[in-house]
Structure 1
Amino acid sequence: MKIVSYIIWTCPAEKEGFINVHLVAHTHDDAGWLKTVDQYYYGARSQIQEAGVQYIIDSVVDELKDHPDRRFIYVEMAFFTRWWQEQTETTKALVRTLVNEGRLEFINGGWCMNDEATAHYVDIIDQMSFGLITLNDTFGECGRPRISWQIDPFGHSREQASLFAQMGYDGLFFGRLDHEDKKERMAKKTMEMVWSGSDSLGTQASLFTAVNYNLYQPPPGFCFDIYCNDEPIIDDPRSKDYNVEKRVTDFLNYCQEQANAYATDSILLTMGSDFHYQDANVWFKNMDKLIKYANERQATGSRFNLFYSTPSCYTKALNDHAKTWPSKTGDFFPYGSDAHAYWTGYFTSRPASKYMIRQGSNLMQVCKQMDAALVRQGVATNQVGELFTMKDAMGIMQHHDAVTGTEKQHVAEDYALLLHKGVVECQKIQTAYYEKELVIGNQVLPKVSYCQLNVSQCDPTEKNNRFVVNIYNSMARSVDKYVRVPVASGTIFQVHDPQGNVVASQTVPIAEYVKSLPGRVSSATVELVFLASQLPPLGSKSYYVQPGTSKDEHEPQNKFAISNEKVSVEIDDVRGLIKSVTVNGKTTELKQEFLWYPSKSGDNSVADKRASGAYIFRPDSDDAFAIPSSGITTTTYSGELVEEVHQIYNPWVAQTIRLYKGQEHVELDWVVGPIPVEDGTGKEIINRVTTSIASSGMFYTDANGRQTLERRFNIRDSYPYTVTEPIAANYYPVNSHAYIKDAVGNQVTMLVDRPQGGSSLHNGELELMVHRRCLYDDAFGVGEALNETAYGDGLVVRGTHFLILGDKTNSMKMARSLSHELYKQPQISFIPTSLSFSEWSALYKTQQQSLSRTLPVNVNLLTLETLNQGKYLMRLEHIYDVGEDSILSQPATVSIEGLFPGFTVTSSEETMLGGNQFKKDSNRLVWNVASTSNRNENGQQIWDERAIPAVQLKPMEIRTFIITLVRI
């Protein structure tokens, strides 16, 4: 029997003429929040929260096995995979039967339920694929989720909807949307819609979307978990507490209330909550009674029909209604749960953790590429480094209480430890890669070392005057990279490229505020800078550093401007701030400065007393204040490769303004912290650029690092918005870029190195929040103030913004290219040596690559990773949106024939984005949509596995393939 989009024969039949109530039994299991992942799984530290996931799955399976009418959905593969590995073959066989019969259904199926504001699209795809492929390998087609279930994230992204649609999902259910938006939708019965996820991809990226009526909680008074205090259904007429009639009546009254807000006579009721069903019998026994006694009333005229169901069966039932559904564009940010609780603080919360996750993501892409290269060379990589450890850690880090920074402090520390373990395993793979790829003959490669360059600390370069710098480029095109490494003071260095040519280099003083970073263990006072040019695609270059003879000047200069051949930055000699930036002869007057918002305090007893905290941004002022300073001091350094201004506001805010030779952007390297709170006031720090650009109340932010969305100050597209928090309610997530522009095309763009909140609160302004330290909890569950400390004081954070000025077309071209280069920054490692360059190059390769040619500049090799038996998962993406560039926004063509040196592609087949279903087998539900074409403009391209033709990519399109490589 062929299984298509739905195992239709397992779904319960609705009754025509009735209000059909789909009861969805579920548990929401956070992959860390108040407790760590391990503590949640094992049920440890119950004094914090009574929750043990292993017992939940045990109990549910036991209750399902003898009751064929019961159903249950499960979501988080990070937990289920761990449970599965502990089971006997008998239990596994039982679970397979439950899955095949549709009684246990996997929904969402990612490693976690990821956040949608601060997760990068690459990480979303990776963590979803990790879970989906695991499910596919374990249960086959019957285990493939058909519905995305984002019931707890704090706002919802258009790019996420697009990605889910491209993964083959038929629907998306979520719980949180702005309180005014929900009120409007309930009144108009538009709680369900078809969401257009991309202007470029048409219905290929459209997704049926439903808003849950009660978040993801059961109806009030009908929580039957062991943690709840609601009355059970007492159906013995002899008992004085007999309550069937009242309880059923109350339940059906609630069902009617919910039905009044929806457009059909089918409704979905969520019957479960956080870590429910640890004793599943309590839930199921009471729901059995509800179903029985409610349905008995049909004989006396009741119009309610109750049954166990799942979101996929509910979605199929709605599709069968053949109704025309309203459409949705844009996104669901920001999320306000009430008039004074806008969940926009978490866009920035825990900025050091967010940076670590972004760096981990970059490293994991490198790791997967190197692992694939090693496998092609016959190396058993599972004996080298455990890639699973990194995938597991990065999957967990995308959870909506991890990358968001909304977890307890001890959980944040555990997340960091998990990610550190993954990094260590990845570094083992990196080392094995270099040992395989760089060695000539039977030589042994000296020890490869990795450094904390974010704090300018590196023993191999500081304690040795001869060393090799290995630079790996994970992009499928050549890139240039300015390398900065701390070196011993007083030594002149000379840098040789892979061919032995001396390349220009420069030493630059390490800023005082970098040298004093807490935890830094280094005596270095200068950094060596050189340009690693034309790094090969999926390849590396090794640069050899030795003592030199020429003098390198790095004395401070008394000037208030820095420049290269394309850009100049003028500093106000009185205020110490940027005064203007000139790009290719065009000058823009602007001011760039750091400011702070005071955090609102409060006891959260009523909406107007809501405090600013881990989730909520609520400033206690109408605008940001100037950073306290007795005068900004500036020191300027100039040289052949880089010019920079070291700018100090006070002991806790400083910045380096930097221009590299040949680049058209300004680098703003900032250090913020420890944020002082001795005055009893929490503080939220922003970087603001002010210009004369007439931006007309509009600004633009990316969605998860991909498409760009227009934002309008104090305006929502889909509902009437009441201005109650004019600052916080105009903040949006920024993962890649934000910009303002005017009617004639002048544009100011800022790129980020980690997720942050951003806005434009006045014409010509653009601001990004970089750090926050709050003294009050905002009462949304975490139970702690966001008051991060390290080394005995408030947390110090170092980060970078990239400022681009120019016309719209050139700015977007630069932003797209640079944002990908920033995300996929080359990985750098070091090898101290006593050999001369000629001796080194005779024993070891100094350049190599794993691609035979570069891909087009508008195409990114998103994924290359090992599957099994000579098969690899490969994703290609078009990085431009429609209309962003007259040339680069055109379709791109890529041939993979001969792309991998020494190997030929012997088979290939296109899959859905998650890599868990062949595209030819996808049969998504088709929906009737109001005012929208239902034609799938871009969804019918399927690669024929019998040939290896060129792959065509349309703007914003990602195409995924399983390929087989055989050595020629």
Structure 2
Amino acid sequence: MAGFQDPWFICRCDFYFEVNDKSPVVQDDPLLFDYNVQERVNDFVAAAVSQANITRTNHIMFTMGTDFKYQYANSWFRQMDKFIHYVNMDGRVNVLYSTPSIYTDAKYAANETWPLKLDDFFPYADRTNAYWTGYFTSRPALKGYVRVLSGYYLAARQLEFLMGRNSLGLTTDSLADALAIAQHHDAITGTEKQHVANDYAKRLAIGYAETEKLVGSSLACLTESVSYSQCDNSETKFEQCPLLNISYCPPSEVDLSHGKSLAVLVYNSLGWKRVDVIRLPVISESIVVTDYEGREIESQIFPITSAAVDLRNSYVTAYLGISPSVTPKFWLAFPVDVPSLGFTTYFISSRKLAGSKTAMSTQYSSQEIQNSNTLEIGQGNLKLQFATDEGMLFRYFNNRSLVETSINQSFCYYSGYEYDASGANPQASGAYVFRPNGTFPIAPDRQVPLTVMRGPILEEIHQQINPWIYQITRVYKKKEHVEVEFIVGPIPTNDGIGKELATQIMTTMTTNKTFYTDSNGRDFIKRIRNYRTDWELQVNQPVAGNYYPINLGIYIEDDNTELSVLVDRSVGGSSLLDGQVELMLHRRLLHDDGRGVAEKLDEVVCVNDQCEGLMIQGKFYLRVDPSGEGAKWRRSTGQEIYSPLILAFSQQDSGSWTKSHVPTFSMADASYSLPDNVALVTLQALEDGSVLLRLAHLYEAGEDKELSMMAEVDLNKLFAGRKILKLSEMSLTANQARDEMEKKRLKWRVEGLASTTAPVRGGPVDPSKLVVELGPMEIRTFTINFDHMLPKINTEKKA
């Protein structure tokens, strides 16, 4: 049918019609010496036949346009009009202007039987040695920023719904717009020029600043014993800490020695109760943490490292244009217990209590241990035992599951291929393309001892791997996974070589070339090293050609165990050896890869006109489970990583808060939470007064023996205190009613489908019961109309 093929096909066949393109135009005046109608018709017919020979049915589509093309419509349509006219006169091929809908209808009308493709097209290359797998990691700071603000936006929309859209004169629209723009394929991928990346980040920062006001005002209103109509006059003022990831949080870095206390409101955007640990920078070790009933909470104090302070001081200045006036000396960590879709309040003060539960961490280095070459951390079920004389090798043991294995984590960098203008090497490693020119292991600096921090809540081992890689391996007493925090950069390039940093996690598992990576955080796709399901792969890039995008996580398994790794932002990764998982953490390259950026991927940060390469602070999470039992951790912890707790701070006179504020709140019924296998994806107040609700089943069929089952959500209990007048099920994008969509849905004939089991799907919602069913991996979208948008707040005060 109409139009033109993909960009690389067009280049070969000369069907580009921009004003200055070299493609021959149709010269249809016989008096011209370059009259070429038949030649151009033959070229077009040959291209069509070539495409048709590998396409089912006699309908094909040539897609039109690509990057930097189709900027001048007149030159394109003038030539396409001529092609359509003369090719149809020729008669061998019929050409018409089309749309995706017309094309799809024509394919459907052919009554063909179609193969079912269950995997994706990753990784892909446009030519030999040019795999587009570098952009899975390019611009990791921007990727992390988008991830953090996406979770924040989800929580902010919940609060906007609770308060009523526009009731505070604030909305989440600015952040919504910035996040939408950042989803452009040249934004989140990192394949834009640096000044464009800066523009995306600026828009995100502006959107966050406006949404932060809404979040603070909403929480103030929810916690004050006032009616919604008085929320614009709330006396409580909350501050938040968007730079907490680099140890900067001015509200917690205050002097509480003069009878003041710090109220810490902790909001949970997940649909189930959450028990977690929060960490805040503080200036004093004389601190006590209490809950809203006055009971002291066990807490832990440990020193902030110089690596964290250096990162903080440099990047606060770069981001805010100010130098921090205070340098905190400690981290304060304490556990929190927060209801679903609600908040709980805790208090930090300097009061001295008899038998205080605030513990100061013990700290020592590996050099201080006499007659021992091992270090062990872990107060709960999970214990890690490090071999101090063997780099980063540790023994992993879980007392509950009885899983025991050895894990060797290491770092390496790939040197990026350089561009050779002579043509000997036309393909460099760049923003798009990952083309390694050698692998270089990074040996840990044995001269720098390990540092151990012990305490009742969490324990850590700190390692200075080399001058530009610092790592903390952290274990929480009440969690059964390893949290690895890293600070990477600036990646040195003074040797003239671009570098792409990766970490490898090596086990003794027998994985038979197989590993699994997520698809957009949903289903996991089976990957086999050096293999494609659709064709016989010729391996010319054994590293880059086996890299895949990782948005949620990656795992490997054998007959006995499975190793899962979750990430805090999108990265590239693989399993290049049996029993191994690899993640690429950062890239800094010195050449453009020729895919349109026209700029090297060399991010720098400037402070007082002094510029150096970008540093990245991030985390990944690791756990080993008995075979077949890792899905629950991947799904539940994955939700917690994506939707971190929202913290808001307000300094108050000690003891006065609970007399005038609601200390804990939940949107849902007190006895209700979402099932463990269901996530609340969207809760958004719309401009027309209705509410958009999306619920998603988190598990694939057969993924977990208990949780891959039909789930039920009781909307009456989820929206406690609100009466639902109307519930309408919509398409996934909510642009049409589901029943109308189903009438138009095409029922395709699929090869072998008759012998397969249809997926389990939830049934229609009974309006008298308002219980939503969800089958494995199902997402259901509804619009809801309530009888009133603003339920009464529980205004009980503590006596």
- The answer to whether residue 659 in structure 2 is matched with residue 842 in structure 1 is yes
Pick the aligned partner of 1:449 from 234, 239, 247.
239
- The SS at the match of 1:247 is helix
Deviation at 1:949, TM superposition (A): 3.6
Pick the aligned partner of 2:249 from 435, 458, 475.
458
Residue 315 of structure 2 is matched in structure 1 by 519
Deviation at 1:958, TM superposition (A): 0.8
Residue 736 of structure 2 is matched in structure 1 by 917
Residue 262 of structure 2 is matched in structure 1 by 467
- The SS at the match of 2:535 is coil
Contact 1:294 1:304 in 2 (8 A): yes
- The answer to whether residue 43 in structure 2 is matched with residue 253 in structure 1 is no
Residue 347 of structure 1 is matched in structure 2 by 136
Residue 614 of structure 1 is matched in structure 2 by 431
Deviation at 1:562, TM superposition (A): 0.8
Deviation at 1:216, TM superposition (A): 8.0
Contact 1:684 1:773 in 2 (8 A): yes
Shift in CA distance, 312/758, structure 1 to aligned 2, threshold 3 Å: same
For residues 686 and 362 of structure 2, the distance between their equivalents in structure 1, rounded to whole angstroms, comes to: 54
**Quick one: which amino acid aligns to residue 591 of structure 1?**
N
Shift in CA distance, 421/605, structure 1 to aligned 2, threshold 3 Å: farther
Could you report, residue by residue, the CA deviation over 1:278-314 in whole angstroms, capped at 9, with x for unpaired residues?
44232222222222222223xxxx2222211112111
For residues 680 and 161 of structure 2, the distance between their equivalents in structure 1, rounded to whole angstroms, comes to: 14
Matches within 5 A, 1:412-423: 412-423=197-208
Contact 1:541 1:846 in 2 (8 A): yes
Shift in CA distance, 737/411, structure 1 to aligned 2, threshold 3 Å: same
- The answer to whether residue 28 in structure 2 is matched with residue 235 in structure 1 is yes
For residues 654 and 940 of structure 1, the distance between their equivalents in structure 2, rounded to whole angstroms, comes to: 47
For residues 28 and 755 of structure 2, the distance between their equivalents in structure 1, rounded to whole angstroms, comes to: 50
For residues 586 and 290 of structure 1, the distance between their equivalents in structure 2, rounded to whole angstroms, comes to: 67
Matches within 5 A, 1:555-954: 555-557=362-364, 558=368, 560-584=375-399, 585-603=402-420, 609-621=426-438, 623-627=439-443, 629-744=445-560, 746-791=561-606, 792-833=611-652, 835-837=653-655, 839-852=656-669, 853-922=672-741, 923-933=744-754, 937-938=758-759, 941=762, 943-944=764-765, 946-954=767-775
Deviation at 1:544, TM superposition (A): 1.1
**Quick one: which amino acid aligns to residue 485 of structure 2?**
D
For residues 836 and 628 of structure 1, the distance between their equivalents in structure 2, rounded to whole angstroms, comes to: 48
Residue 209 of structure 1 is matched in structure 2 by none
Contact 1:893 1:950 in 2 (8 A): yes
- The answer to whether residue 336 in structure 2 is matched with residue 532 in structure 1 is yes
Contact 1:494 1:502 in 2 (8 A): yes
For residues 42 and 150 of structure 2, the distance between their equivalents in structure 1, rounded to whole angstroms, comes to: 52
Unpaired segments ≥5 residues, structure 1 = 1-20, 25-211
**Quick one: which amino acid aligns to residue 966 of structure 1?**
D
Deviation at 1:668, TM superposition (A): 0.7
Shift in CA distance, 795/563, structure 1 to aligned 2, threshold 3 Å: same
- The SS at the match of 2:450 is strand
Deviation at 1:464, TM superposition (A): 3.6
- The answer to whether residue 37 in structure 2 is matched with residue 23 in structure 1 is no
For residues 900 and 940 of structure 1, the distance between their equivalents in structure 2, rounded to whole angstroms, comes to: 23
Contact 1:576 1:634 in 2 (8 A): no
Select between 465-474 and 237-246 the one with higher mean Cα deviation.
237-246
Shift in CA distance, 624/739, structure 1 to aligned 2, threshold 3 Å: farther
For residues 771 and 401 of structure 1, the distance between their equivalents in structure 2, rounded to whole angstroms, comes to: 18
- The SS at the match of 1:933 is helix
**Quick one: which amino acid aligns to residue 460 of structure 2?**
E
Contact 2:710 2:762 in 1 (8 A): no
Could you report, residue by residue, the CA deviation over 1:757-799 in whole angstroms, capped at 9, with x for unpaired residues?
1111112211111111111211111111111111311111111
For residues 663 and 592 of structure 1, the distance between their equivalents in structure 2, rounded to whole angstroms, comes to: 20
- The answer to whether residue 280 in structure 2 is matched with residue 485 in structure 1 is yes
- The SS at the match of 2:265 is strand
Deviation at 1:243, TM superposition (A): 3.5
For residues 731 and 757 of structure 2, the distance between their equivalents in structure 1, rounded to whole angstroms, comes to: 15
Residue 955 of structure 1 is matched in structure 2 by 776
Pick the aligned partner of 1:284 from 77, 98, 114.
77
- The answer to whether residue 120 in structure 2 is matched with residue 305 in structure 1 is no
For residues 581 and 177 of structure 2, the distance between their equivalents in structure 1, rounded to whole angstroms, comes to: 36
Residue 553 of structure 1 is matched in structure 2 by 360
Contact 1:449 1:830 in 2 (8 A): yes
**Quick one: which amino acid aligns to residue 747 of structure 1?**
E
**Quick one: which amino acid aligns to residue 113 of structure 2?**
T
Contact 2:7 2:66 in 1 (8 A): no
For residues 238 and 289 of structure 2, the distance between their equivalents in structure 1, rounded to whole angstroms, comes to: 19
Residue 501 of structure 1 is matched in structure 2 by 295
Shift in CA distance, 566/552, structure 1 to aligned 2, threshold 3 Å: closer
Per the normalisation by structure 1, the TM-score is 0.74
- The SS at the match of 1:820 is helix
Shift in CA distance, 310/216, structure 1 to aligned 2, threshold 3 Å: farther
Contact 2:760 2:776 in 1 (8 A): no
For residues 499 and 493 of structure 2, the distance between their equivalents in structure 1, rounded to whole angstroms, comes to: 7
Matches within 5 A, 1:384-423: 384-423=169-208
**Quick one: which amino acid aligns to residue 89 of structure 2?**
E
Shift in CA distance, 274/337, structure 1 to aligned 2, threshold 3 Å: closer
Deviation at 1:227, TM superposition (A): 4.2
**Quick one: which amino acid aligns to residue 901 of structure 1?**
A
For residues 961 and 615 of structure 1, the distance between their equivalents in structure 2, rounded to whole angstroms, comes to: 38
Shift in CA distance, 683/221, structure 1 to aligned 2, threshold 3 Å: closer
Residue 15 of structure 1 is matched in structure 2 by none
**Quick one: which amino acid aligns to residue 697 of structure 1?**
K
Deviation at 1:707, TM superposition (A): 0.9
Select between 865-874 and 555-564 the one with higher mean Cα deviation.
555-564
**What's the C-alpha RMSD, in Å, of the aligned pairs?**
2.2
Contact 1:513 1:654 in 2 (8 A): yes
Shift in CA distance, 628/331, structure 1 to aligned 2, threshold 3 Å: same
- The SS at the match of 1:305 is coil
Deviation at 1:215, TM superposition (A): 5.3
For residues 221 and 731 of structure 1, the distance between their equivalents in structure 2, rounded to whole angstroms, comes to: 32
Residue 320 of structure 2 is matched in structure 1 by none
Deviation at 1:580, TM superposition (A): 0.7
For residues 911 and 884 of structure 1, the distance between their equivalents in structure 2, rounded to whole angstroms, comes to: 27
Could you report, residue by residue, the CA deviation over 1:220-257 in whole angstroms, capped at 9, with x for unpaired residues?
33322324243433334444554433333333333233
- The SS at the match of 1:590 is strand
For residues 188 and 350 of structure 2, the distance between their equivalents in structure 1, rounded to whole angstroms, comes to: 43
- The SS at the match of 1:810 is coil
Shift in CA distance, 801/605, structure 1 to aligned 2, threshold 3 Å: farther
Deviation at 1:915, TM superposition (A): 0.9
**Quick one: which amino acid aligns to residue 418 of structure 1?**
R
Deviation at 1:742, TM superposition (A): 1.2
Contact 1:568 1:583 in 2 (8 A): yes
Deviation at 1:856, TM superposition (A): 0.8
Residue 124 of structure 2 is matched in structure 1 by 335
Unpaired segments ≥5 residues, structure 2 = 317-323, 370-374, 792-799
Deviation at 1:500, TM superposition (A): 2.0
